[in-house]
Chains A and B, each alone.
Chain A
Amino acid sequence: MSGAIEVIKPGALTTVQDLGRPGFAELGIPRSGAADRGSLTLANRLVGNDERVAALECTLIGPSLLFHEGGVIAITGAEVQAQVDGAEVPLNSAVTVPAGGVLELATASAGLRTYVAVRGGIEAQPMMGSMSSDLLSGLGPAPLRAGELLGSGEATAAVPPIGVAPVAAPAPEPLLHVIEGPRADWFTADALELLTSSSWEVSSDSNRSGVRLKGPKLQRARSDQLLSEGMVDGAIQVPESGQPIILLADHPTTGGYPVIAVIVSADLDAAGQLRPGQQLRFSSS
Chain B
Amino acid sequence: MLIELADNDAVQMLASGLEPLRGAELAEIVPGHETLLVVWNSKLPPLQRVEEIVGGAYAVAEAIEAPSEVTLAVRYDGPDLAAVAEICGVSAEQVVARHLAAQYRVGFIGFAPGFAYLLGGDPALQPPRLAEPRTRVPAGALAIAGPYSAVYPRSSPGGWNLVGSCEEPIFDVERTPPALLTPGTRVRLVAQ
Contact = CB atoms under 8 A, between A and B. Distances in A.
A134 to B, nearest CB: 9
Given A22-B28, A27-B178, A27-B182, A229 B109 contact: no
Given A227-B34, A229-B37, A28 B28 contact: no
B32 A228 contact: yes
Interface size class of B (residues with CB under 8 A): 20 to 34
B2 A229 contact: yes
A29 B37 contact: no
A136 to B, nearest CB: 8
A23 B27 contact: yes
A175 interface: no
B112 interface: yes
B13 to A, nearest CB: 14
B114 interface: yes
Contacts of A182: 2
Contact of A26 (B34, B112, B154, B183): B183
A28 B27 contact: no
A230 B113 contact: no
B113 A27 contact: yes
B141 interface: no
Interface string B1-43: 0100000000000010000001100011111111111010000
A194 B182 CA distance: 40
A228 B28 contact: no
Contact of A228 (B108, B154, B177): B108
A142 interface: no
A253 B109 contact: yes
Contacts of B22: 23
Interface in A228-268: 228-232, 252-255
B173 A28 contact: no
A227 B33 contact: yes
A61 interface: no
A26 B182 contact: yes
B115 interface: yes
A253 B183 CA distance: 13
A23 B28 contact: yes
B29 to A, nearest CB: 6
Interface in A29-44: 29
Interface string A128-148: 100000001111000000000
Given A137-B112, A229-B37, A253-B110, A25 B30 contact: yes
A231 B37 CA distance: 8
Contact of B29 (A26, A127, A137, A228): A26
A228 B33 contact: yes
Which one of A127, A136, A230 has the highest number of Cβ atoms from chain B below 10 Å of its Cβ? A230
A128 to B, nearest CB: 6
A278 to B, nearest CB: 29
B160 interface: no
A209 B178 CA distance: 21
Contacts of A23: 22-23, 27-28
B10 to A, nearest CB: 13
Nearest to A27: B179
Contacts of B115: 28
A28 B2 contact: no
Contact of B113 (A137, A227, A228, A231): A137
B152 interface: no
Interface in B92-130: 108-115, 117
A228 B117 contact: yes
B28 A26 contact: yes
A32 B179 CA distance: 18
Contacts of B32: 227-230, 254
A43 B39 CA distance: 27
Interface of A: 22-29, 127-128, 136-139, 182, 227-232, 252-255
Interface of B: 2, 15, 22-23, 27-37, 39, 108-115, 117, 154, 173, 177-179, 182-183
Which 8 residue pairs are nearest across A and B when measured between Cβ atoms?
A230-B37, A229-B32, A230-B30, A254-B110, A227-B33, A28-B109, A229-B35, A182-B2
